[in-house]
Amino acid sequence: MKKHLLVLAITPIALSGALFTSNTAQAHGYISKPESRNYLCRIGENSQCGNIVYEPQSVEGPDRFPETGPADGTLASAGIGAFSQLNAQSVNRWAKRHIKAGANQFSWTFTAQHVTQDWRYFITKKNWNPNAPLTRDQLETKPFCSVDGQLRPPARQVTHVCNVPADRSGYHIVLGVWDVGDTGMSFYNAVDLMIDNGNNSALVWQDVGDVFTSRTLNVGDKVQTRVFSSTGEISSLNTEIDIVSPEQGAAEAWPLLLAKKVNDSQSWLQIGVLGADNKIIPIAGKNEIYAQQAAGISRVEIAFSQAPAPQPYFAVNGVQSRYQLSKTGSIEISFNLDISAAANVDVALNKGYETAAAQSYRVNAGLSTHSLQLNDAKPGHYSFVVNYQTEKGAQGQKMFHLDIVAADHVTPPDPVKPPVTGTYQFVFPEHLAHYVAGTKVFQAKTGKVYQCKPWPNNGYCVQWSKGSNQFEPGVGSAWTMAWTAL
C-alpha cells in the first residue's frame, strides 16, 4: 500500500525542524488506555517529563518502524529533542499500569484525525534489560497486534483488542505506532506495563519489609506503603488505604486490608506469606513484603497518617464586655463552660502581651461554672482566652475582649421589688455565671419569677450585659428563648 506524500522536496534536516513546528501548531493523538508514558506525564503521574506535559499528542517521527523510524534510544520521544526526557529508561523511572496477559484493550484518543494506514503494537523481549535504553534489539521485530486503518480518518477515540503474549511477566514496554496514511510520519507511544501471567513458579522473591500488628487504628486514619529503590522513593508504586470502620482498624485486620489492595493492584510487589508454590497469600496479622528480584526495589516502609481528633461541642458563656473594679482594686470574671468531652482547660486574662491572671481546670463533659480572680487590677482593655484539649488531642479556643473600668464608674443597681420568699434562687442579674437549666430568678423590673430553659437554650440565660440585654427575663426582645415565666 503506497502513501502519497504531500511534501516531496524536503531534506531530513528541514523535515525535523518543520516537524516540531507542525506539532506545536496542531494536535494529533496518544494512547489513553492503558495510559502511555507521555500521557501519564500530562496527568501528573510521571514527573520530570519536560515539554511533553503540554502536548502528549505530538510524539511524531518517521514512519515504518522498525525498518526506519526514530533512532535507537529515542523511540519513546520519536526522535524529537524537545521530548528527550521520555527516553530515560530504568526499572523504576516510570509509572506502570497493571494488566493480565491475553486480551487487553488499547485505546487511542485523537485531537486531529489523520487518514490512517494502520496501528501496530510491539512488545519488549522476554529477556530485555529495563535499565538500558529502549532500542530495536530490546523489542520483538514483529508486532503482536496490527489493525488496518483502511486509509480512513479514525473516530475521536478508537479501541483495539490485542492479545498480550502469555509468555511475558513483570515489567514490559509496549510501543504503539500509529502509521498515518497521508504523510510520511507516524506517532509513537511507549506504554509501561506490569504483566501478570498467573505463573509465579519462575519468579524470584526477596523480602523487602514487614507489616506488623503493633497498633490499632481509628476511623479516618490512613496507611501507606512507601517503596524505595537504591536511588530514592518510587512514588508510583506507593499504595494507600483509608480506615472507614473500627473493624478495619483492628490490629489484625488492617494488615490484611493493605495486603489485598497491594496484591490486587501490583504484580512485582506483594504482601503476605510466601508458600511452597511461590505464591504469596495475604493473611490477618503480621505479613511480609516481597518484591521481584529484578524490580529494583530495595525496601518498603509502612507510614501512618492519623485522622484529626473529633472536635467536641464547646461554648463559653457569661463573660461580660465591661467589668468595674471593686474598692480593693480586684475583679472576678465568672463564666459557664459547656463541653461535650472531658478536657484540660486553661484560662488567661491578658493585657497586651502580658498575662495578668491565669488558671487551669480539669473538667468533665457537661456544664460547669468557674471564675478567675484578678487582684490589684488596672483599668484598660483586656483579652480573656479559654483553651481546651481533650484526651484524644482535640484542641480549641474562645477569646473575648473586655474593658476594666475604675471603681468610681460604678452605677447604682436598678431598684428591686420585694421578692416572694422561697420561689427563686437569685435576683436577676446577681450571680449571673451560676445560671443553669432550671435556675429560678426574680426579675425586679416585672415583679415575676422566671426559670431557665433546658439545654440547649440554657446557654442564653447567662448572656446578658447592660448593653446587650435581648435575653433578659421578661424584658429582652428574645427573652422567651431563654426563660419560662412562672
Q: How many CA atoms lie within 13 A of 350 on its CB side?
A: 13
Phi, psi for residue 21 in degrees, rounded to 5: -65, -40
Assigned CATH for 12-196? 2.70.50.50
Parse the chain into domains and list their residue ranges: 12-196, 205-305, 314-409, 426-485
Query: Cell match 485486620: residue?
Result: 253
- Provide the grid cell at 267: 504484580
Predicted local distance difference test score (pLDDT) of residue 167: 87
Report if pTM > 0.85. Answer: no
CATH fold, domain 205-305, is Alpha-Beta Plaits (3.30.70)
> Of 115, 190, 101, 112, whose CA–CA distance to 152 is shortest?
115
Below-50 pLDDT ranges, the chain: 1-27, 410
**pLDDT per position as a tens digit, 230-262:** 888 877 678 899 999 999 999 999 999 999 999
Architecture of domain 314-409 in this structure:
Sandwich (2.60)
pLDDT at 403: 93
DSSP string, 326-368: -TTS-EEEEEEEEESS-EEEEEEEEETTEEEEEEEEEE-SEEE
| Residue 110, beta-bridge partner list | 29
The x, y and z cell numbers of residue 229, run together, are 529503590
Pairing status of strand 185-196 against strand 97-100: parallel
Neighbouring CB atoms inside 10 A of 435's CB total: 29
In our burial notation (b when 16+ CB lie closer than 10 A, e otherwise), range 251-285 reads eebbbbbbbebbbeebbbbbbbeeeeeeebebeee
* Number of Cβ within a 10 Å radius of residue 138: 21
DSSP string, 98-145: EEESEEEEEEEEESS---EEEEEEEEB-TT--TTS---GGGB-SS-SE
Place of cell 501471567: 197
